[in-house]
Structures are given as structure tokens and as C-alpha cells.
Amino acid sequence: MKKWEKYLEKRWIANLLTVCAGILLYMGIKNFSSISAFFSELNRIVSPLVIGFILAYLIDPIAGFCDTRLFKKMKNEKNRWFLSVIVSILFVLALITLFFVALIPSLTSCIKGIFSNKNTYIRNIDNFINSINSWNLGVHLDMGVFTAYLEKMMDTGFAYMTENMGQVINLSKNVGNALFNSLLGFILCIYFLAGKHHLLDGLNDFRSAALTKEQYRSHTDFWNRCHKIFIQFLGYDLVDGLIIGTVNAIIMLILGMPYVALISVIVGVTNLLPTFGPVIGLILGGLLLFLVNPVYALWFLIMVIIIQTVDGYVLKPKMFGGALGIPPVWTLIAIVIGGKLFGALGILLAIPFAAVINFLYKENFLPWLQNRKTEGENDA
């Protein structure tokens, strides 16, 4: 038995630790808002570093491919890696440019269409309601009630924006800060990638000096396991979102729906967020199509349900291979806590963090408890 475990056998120490844990839990619950504010401020400060690290982490496989495949004939390793980083960054910038080239014209057209075709939208909705009433389903819908409710909702929204202009300004400020942090994070990403080998060598030297051989091996195995979980989740999640967005665009083109690029981008991006993301994409895309033609919104609803069903039961299990298998309830708890503490980034990273905690609990904590119980029974 280890020395610190012998101390835990003493009743007064165990009781003291229990009381301290209870006090900490009480103080944490009582001051949850302060703790949340602290993490929010911490998130604001370190977000450029986190963004830079995540971007470097995601771009590193591309740079690694260039290093080992495209430029493998180059003898100078330093120059080869530097060229690989440049090519991978240019490739990512090209993808981002293509993304905005496809999105901005469609978004501009959508906004102009919403404001210039208001009467057409109302007429389309009126025709849709009249067609439903003509089916004699026992339900009579009144367009006047719907129009009055829509106008009231728009007036309420306009009044809210007028009365809370300060919050609107703060939202614009937050968007500006997010863009600045993203730009700074991208710059840091380049430095992280360029200095990758230097950083890793320094970290390995520190671990080698601070840990025993067994600890070093265990520590390395742990981080390799974490790397596999995170790269599998983040990389495959991006590929999954790209596939879903592309399939959505193809089907919308076949059905002759408008705003194909905008809605497909919305569906693909929101699909990156677990659990709630597809629902958000469905609502946003459905609302846009409902204004143009309610029938389009109905077909879009059916289409998204089919796509998400295939994605959830076929595509994702094939891609993730069950390695991230976490009980649904813990997934939901992780998403809620991650979102509350770290916003959208917390929601995105909640599942891989939960997967890490899950395997630590099953493979480290439970065996430790079992060994402790066995030692106690042997001592008795």
C-alpha cells in the first residue's frame, strides 16, 4: 500500500477530506455565476491561443502529408517542413476563400429577396394555407390571424432592438472581437506549425527529465490515446459536415430549390455541433424556404430527416468506429456544461473531452478502486 493510501485509512483524515469536499461543492454551487464569469474571462483571454492550437492541430495532418509525400525527395528536413507548412496554409486559405465566394453572393441575394419580395411570400403562404383548408381535414387556418401574428412579432422585434440598442452594439462588438481573435489565432497557428518540432522536442526533454521510464511510457500512451480521440472526432466531424452539406446541395439542386449554397453551408456548418446542430440547421433552412414556398420547406424537412438518419446510423458509426462511444446522457451533460463555460467551442469539444474522461474512468479509476478494495480485503 502506498504511503498516501495509509493516511486515507485513518478515519479522521477521511472525515476531514469529506467535509472539505462538501464545503468546496457548496461554495462552487453558491458561486457558480462567479465561476462561470471567471471561465468566460479566461476563455476571452486565451481564446486566440486555443484557436491557434486547434487550427494547427487540424492543419498538421495536411502539412504532414506534404512533408512525407509531396516533398519527400527534399533532403533538408527543415526546409521541407517549412515548405509543407506554407503549402498547407495556402490550401486552407483557398478553401476559406472558396467558402466565402460561395456564401456571400447567396447571402446577399437572400437578404435582398426577403425585403423585396415580402408580398410574394405572403401570397405564397396564403395559397399554401388555402390549399390546406381545401383538403377538408377538419382544421381551418386563418391567414388574417397568421399575418397579424407575423406583424406583431416583427413590431415586437423592432421595438426590442430599439430599446436594447446597447445590447445590439455589444453583440457587434463581440462579433468584432471574435473575428480579431480568429485572425490572431490563425497567425499563432502558423507559428505553432512552423515551430512544431522544436516545441515537441522541448516537451519530450522535459517529460524525460521529470518522469521515470515507466511514467514516461504511460504518459506517452495517454497522450497518444487522447490524440487519436481528438483527431478522429475533429477530423471526421469536418469531413462529415462537408459530406452532409454537399449531399444537401445536390438534392436541393435536383428539387429546384432556391438559396442552395447558403442553406447547404448552414446545414454543413451546424452539423459540426453535436446533438443540437442539425436541429438549428433544419430550422434556419426551413424558415428561409418557407418564405419562398412552404412546399419547399416541407420537402426540406423530409430531406434533412432522411439525411440525418442515414448520417447518424450509417455514416458516423462507419467513420468513428464506436471509439467515442459515450452514453447519450453523458454526451448531453458534457455539451451543456461545455456550452455554458466555453460557448460554441465548448460544445464542439465537449464530446472528445467526455470520451477522454470516460476512458480514464473505466481504465484507470475503476481498476484503482478495485485494487484498493482487494488490498483492503487481504489486509483484513
**105, 107, 111, 112: CA torsion to nearest 10:** 10
Residues 260-286: pLDDT tens digits? 888 888 888 888 776 677 888 888 888
First to last CA, the chain: 13
Q: Say how far apart CA 188 and CA 55 lie, in whole Å.
A: 9
Q: What is the pLDDT of residues 159-209, one digit of tens each?
A: 655 555 555 455 555 666 777 778 888 888 888 888 888 888 888 888 888
Residues sharing a CB contact under 8 Å with residue 107, sequence separation 6 or more, in sequence order: 262
Query: pTM of the prediction?
Result: 0.62
Residues 6+ apart with CB under 8 A from 192: 52, 53, 56, 199
Q: Is the pLDDT of residue 3 over 80?
A: no
Q: Would you state the cell numbers that stand for residue 4, as one nine-digit string?
A: 498516501
- CA proximity to 239, closest of 58, 86, 60, 94: 58
List helix spans (H) across 271-321.
277-292, 294-310, 316-320
What is the gyration radius of the CA atoms in the chain, in angstroms? 27
Rounded distance between C-alpha atoms, residue 51 and residue 186, angstroms:
7
Give the helix/strand (H/E) hosting 155.
Answer: helix 143-163
Residues making up the chain, counted from first to last: 380
List of E strands, the chain = none
pLDDT in tens, 80-98: 898 999 999 999 899 888 8
Could you give the 3-state DSSP secondary structure of residue 289? helix
SS3 state of residue 138? coil
| CB-CB contact of 247 with 307 (8 Å) | yes
Q: Identify whether the C-beta of residue 348 lies closer than 8 Å to the C-beta of residue 272.
A: yes
pLDDT tens by residue, 213-270 = 888 888 888 888 888 888 777 777 788 888 888 899 899 889 888 888 888 888 888 8
CA distances from 311 to 240, 245, 317, 344 (A): 8, 12, 8, 22
C-alpha to C-alpha distance for 82 and 281, rounded to whole angstroms: 39
Residue 363: CB atoms within 10 A of its CB come to 12
Q: Which residue has the higher pLDDT, 366 or 84?
A: 84
Give the pLDDT of residue 145. Answer: 60
